[in-house]
Amino acid sequence: MIIRINNAEVYQPTAAGQQDVLVAGALVAAIGNDLGIAGDLVAQVDATGCLVVPGFVDSLAHIIGGGGEGGFRTRTSEMNVADPIRAGVTTLVGVLGTDAVTRTLTNLLAKARAFDEEGLTCYCHTGSYQIPARTLFNDVMEDLVLVDKFIGVGEVAIADHRSSQPTLDELKKLAAQARVGGMLAGKSGIVSVHVGSAPQGVEQLMQVAAQSDLPITQFYPTHINRNQRLLTQGFEYVAKGGYIDFTTSTTPHDLAGGEIKCSEALAQAVALGVNIANITFSSDANASLPMFDEHNNFIGLGEGRIASLYEEFVDSVKLGVPLATALSVITSNPARILKLPSKGKISAGGDADLVLLDAKDLTIRAVMARGVWLYSDGTLTDIKARFAPA
């Protein structure tokens, strides 16, 4: 099938002006104004009044659910494929969470494959919150080399009362294994790091980079918008060359407790001249958002939502962040950091993962993943799932 999307304002995510986008099979074949292709085999789509942007890349989502911090009844639900599709997410990375006992890597892999069958592109990280890392084979290096879907390790918890309280040496060894595994398999091998609310923040990661041959870019710390102290430390971390990720799922309690909305954190970064290329948003979808009192006693639970990724992008634009900049943190930046060269951008030869946004209010009008329309004007158009709602 050849699809020609005409008269759209294209963001690659950098602004490319009004162009036509030609999709052949699962790939973008060409972008231009005079593509010179028509006929019965070309499906014409008039995208007047729309922006065409890359499908969103969510670098951290609990696709099989998570939680359990308040007992078994607080385990969160598995993600329904309709959720990422409606939210414009076409690429996502699934991870385990606090519970790597009843949530397993085998389950994670099966869910990722289910999402692929539905038309999305889903990867996973091996490992777990805790060190020693949960693995399928002997260690994370073997997992990265032998299992296609594993592209990194994590989320590994630091600075958190739920972490395994890893030592510097444990973090170094894990990162070293991930690095070589990634090299051997031609993957990012990145270590996704859950940063909790303890005051040391990302200090351990800076120490590993300073005291070893590992580059600071080996780590990908998330939840950096947890409070202003961590956010400020995160900006210093970026100045050293590191990557940081903000979590778009928040609850009113989080905000009362000092959490900073992603859009506001990004606006701060832009105002301070922080290198935005090293900043991403992720949803933390289907994670439990456990609330603890000042003594770390569990007091309640929320649940992460994947739609928050898109919502915080829109809120960033409302706060005055340039559209291409706001887009980059949910498209090209995570794709580059995760070494997914065909994702997160619109370019000839790249995957045809596209989102059509209404130019007036940025409403999601349509979503295409690997050349197939999965969503259009409120309707899921190509759901194959037995259990998904129509």
Active site residue 148: no
Catalytic entry in 58, 99, 254, 284: 284
Helices (H), 288-376: 307-318, 323-328, 332-337
Q: How far is the CB of 37 from Zn ion (least distance, A)?
A: 46
Residue 134 or 194 having the CB closest to Zn ion: 194
Q: Which of the ranges 31-39, 192-200, 299-307, 350-358 carries the binding residues for Zn ion, by CB under 5 A?
A: 192-200
Cα 327–chain centre separation: 12
Q: Which two tokens stand for residue 29?
A: 């074949």
> Considering beta carbons, is residue 19 or 233 the nearer one to Zn ion?
233
Task: Report the C-alpha gap between 209 and 212 in whole angstroms.
Answer: 6
Kindly state whether residue 194 participates in binding Zn ion, applying the rule CB under 5 A.
yes
Do you find a cis peptide bond into 132, omega within 30 degrees of 0?
A: yes
Comparing CB distances to Zn ion, the nearer of 149 and 194 is 194
Written as six digits, the tokens of 351 are 């995957």
Per CB under 5 A, which region of 31-39, 135-143, 155-163, 378-386 contacts Zn ion? 155-163
- Residues within window 217-276 making contact with Zn ion, judged by CB under 5 A: none
Residues 6+ apart with CB under 8 A from 152: 93, 125, 126, 144, 178, 182, 187, 188, 189, 190, 191, 192, 220, 338
The residue range among 190-198, 211-219, 252-260, 353-361 that interacts with Zn ion, by the rule CB under 5 A, is 190-198
In contact, 195 and 161? CB cutoff 8 Å: no
Q: Tell me the residue nearest to Zn ion as measured from the CB.
A: 194
Quote the CA–CA distance of 26 and 267 in Å, as a whole number. Answer: 35
Nearer to Zn ion, 21 or 202 (CB): 202
Binding of Zn ion by 62 (CB under 5 A): no
Q: Least distance to Zn ion from the beta carbon of 308, Å?
A: 14
Minimum separation from the CB atom of position 288 to Zn ion (A)? 10
| Sites of contact with Zn ion (CB under 5 A) | 155, 194
Annotated catalytic residues are: 284
